[in-house]
Amino acid sequence: MTRSLRTVTALSLVARVVAAQSGGADPRLVARLDKPTYVAVNAIVDSARAAKLPTAPLVDKALEGAAKGSDGPKIVTAVQQLRVRMTSARAMLGSNSTADEIRAASTAIEAGVSGRDLARVKAATGKRAVTMPLAVLTDLIGRQIEATTATNLVIQLEKSGVKDPELALFQRNVRADIDRGADPTVAAQTRARGLLQRGATSGKPSE
């Protein structure tokens, strides 16, 4: 066996040992977090897995904190808060909600969307996935549009039958209007009014 092959084999063995000792945890957590932080974060991830919640967002949140140089307690708090939001999100969306829907809903909650408004958006989408509507809602709020106003606009569009590609175009157009100096609320209301007037289901959306 060549020296390089022995090295690769040894590293592979070490990786398997570390994975076994960490209970099959994401190796990126082992590599990026100090031991106390890793243990706390891994416990949160394990509890989410046991509750059948998506775990990838929790891992991503921990890695994001590590990349920013946040201290251990701050990382653990952020991961735990996300876990709580995801629990609330699933309770509001229902047990059949997908991982993407739960992630989008938890982000919306963090942005300030109330449980009542989250339920309203879910009701407006019917059997369609709520991921895109919530992503657009969160983006509107992030662009300084009041949460209730943004929620009502998204609900109007969803009730009118607007499909995800049209909603994505609406989002891009609002962004462009704001970047050109338009008032965020006026831009969103004007674009929504135009989309509703054209008839969301009658043809391709236009710029």
- Digit-coded pLDDT (tens) for 27-68: 999 999 999 999 999 999 999 999 999 999 999 999 999 999
Of the chain, the percentage scoring pLDDT greater than 90 comes to: 80
Which pLDDT band holds residue 197 (cuts at 50, 70, 90)? confident
Q: What is the average pLDDT across 107-118?
A: 94
Q: What is the CA radius of gyration of the chain?
A: 22
Helix (H) or strand (E) holding 51: none
* pTM, rounded to two decimals: 0.79
Q: Two tokens at 143?
A: 């662009």
Residue 1 gets which letter from DSSP? Answer: -
Between CA 117 and CA 102 the distance in angstroms is 15
Between CA 54 and CA 51 the distance in angstroms is 9
